[in-house]
Amino acid sequence: MYRLQKEGYEAYLVGGCVRDLLLGREPKDFDVVTNADPEQVRKVFRNCRLIGRRFRLAHVHFGREVIEVATFRGATEEHNDMQMLNKDGRLLRDNVYGTIEQDVWRRDFTVNALYYNIKNFSVVDYVGGMTDHKAGTLKLIGDPATRFREDPVRMLRAVRFAVKLGFNLHADCEKSIHQSAELLLSIPPARLYDEVLKLFLSGCALQTFEMLRHYGLFQLLFPDTEKSLSIEEDGFPRLLLIKALENSDNRIADGKTVTAYFLLAAFLWEPFQIKVREKMTQGLVEYLAYQDAANDLIARQVKHTALPRHITLAIREVWGMQPKFNIRTGSRPSRLVTHPRFRAAYDFLMLRAETGGVDAALAEWWTRYQTADVAEQLKMTQPPRNRSNGKLGRKRNPRKKSSDEGD
């Protein structure tokens, strides 16, 4: 910022970093806004790369740190090559540059439109963001319906910020989400996948899930999962997904990592099981039913959120190993524990046991097997003895008497 000012440009901190600092939180990154255009920023910093087509941005690299530098965005009555909307009013490109007074109206929420000025160490607020910040209210700048049409992903951002900050959504914003939810169907599935990761890997997954369902947004991201959640089993709601979300939040709170594929495997498990049962009813054996059900479900899901191939392969492996846990004799268990995805599949088995999806004794057996020594493992995997004679294998028939033996 000082370098830009030294070169004669304006420079401010803006957005989430200012919002979080005012809350006493440590920002995960810092965004700078300036009146220098991207090419001018690149001339000031040799360690700069220009990225983006929809919004042209400068990334200034300092070792592993990256500072995102954006040019003030402006407003224009006539859309030209620098600004492009589709027929629904969604912004496809927006590289119209302007002043700070114009830039503020292009931002999404008032609490994200606070600018920190290093000239006099003040916070510049044009839209009442400080008032909303103190009140804990998440409010859109401008007409909510128009802003959601410009970029429907703002509805997901509204939920994510409200949960993350502990803020309430403004009434006008809430009303418009209910009315505009279907606009998410126009967003490319690859972009929605990126948003799903931000929504559910931030440490507030359970609350985010509940709020997304409340506003009718979850069903647009995971339609088969939403449908399966309405089906109760023996009078009880399905709990595996809820438990997976809780565990994910607890792990993040403890500073542990959460793998995206494990959580997504839990998201899709219930609709997957429904499809497996359908396939088996049609006459397929379990192994083929698992394969076909996974193919069908994942093909449907990627049309809504484009799960990358490495994610879908990992999900298939976690699912495909679940029936293999039922085989506890012979050499199968020792081979199974060497599988690269065993730990994740075992954790998934434990999740199923916790929520009544599998016999707890099965999960306990596999827990003991992993910690047992070789001799104990061999003993645990011996086939059951024949109850009649206490020996392994089939009972022998009594020897026939020969013809020369007496009666």
Catalytic residues: 29, 31, 108
Question: Could you give the CA distance from residue 399 to residue 112 in angstroms, rounded to a whole number?
Answer: 90
Question: Could you give the CA distance from residue 302 to residue 308 in angstroms, rounded to a whole number?
Answer: 9
Helix axes 260-281, 286-301, angle to 10 degrees: 120
CA separation, residue 173 to residues 129, 215, 247 (Å):
15, 11, 31
Cβ-contact 77, 139 below 8 angstroms = no
Distance of CA 286 to the CA centre of its chain: 29
List Cβ neighbours of 271 (8 Å cut-off, separation of 6 or more): 224, 225, 227, 228, 297
Quickly list DSSP for 161-188: HHHHHTPEEPHHHHHHHHHHGGGGGGS-
Tell me 2's DSSP state: H
**Residues paired with residue 70 on neighbouring β-strands, in sequence order:** 33
Question: Could you give the CA distance from residue 321 to residue 346 in angstroms, rounded to a whole number?
Answer: 9
Question: Could you give the CA distance from residue 154 to residue 141 in angstroms, rounded to a whole number?
Answer: 12
SS3 assignment for 69-116: EEECECCCCCCCCCEEECCCCCEEEECCECCHHHHHHHCCEHHHCEEE
Cβ-contact 19, 112 below 8 angstroms = yes
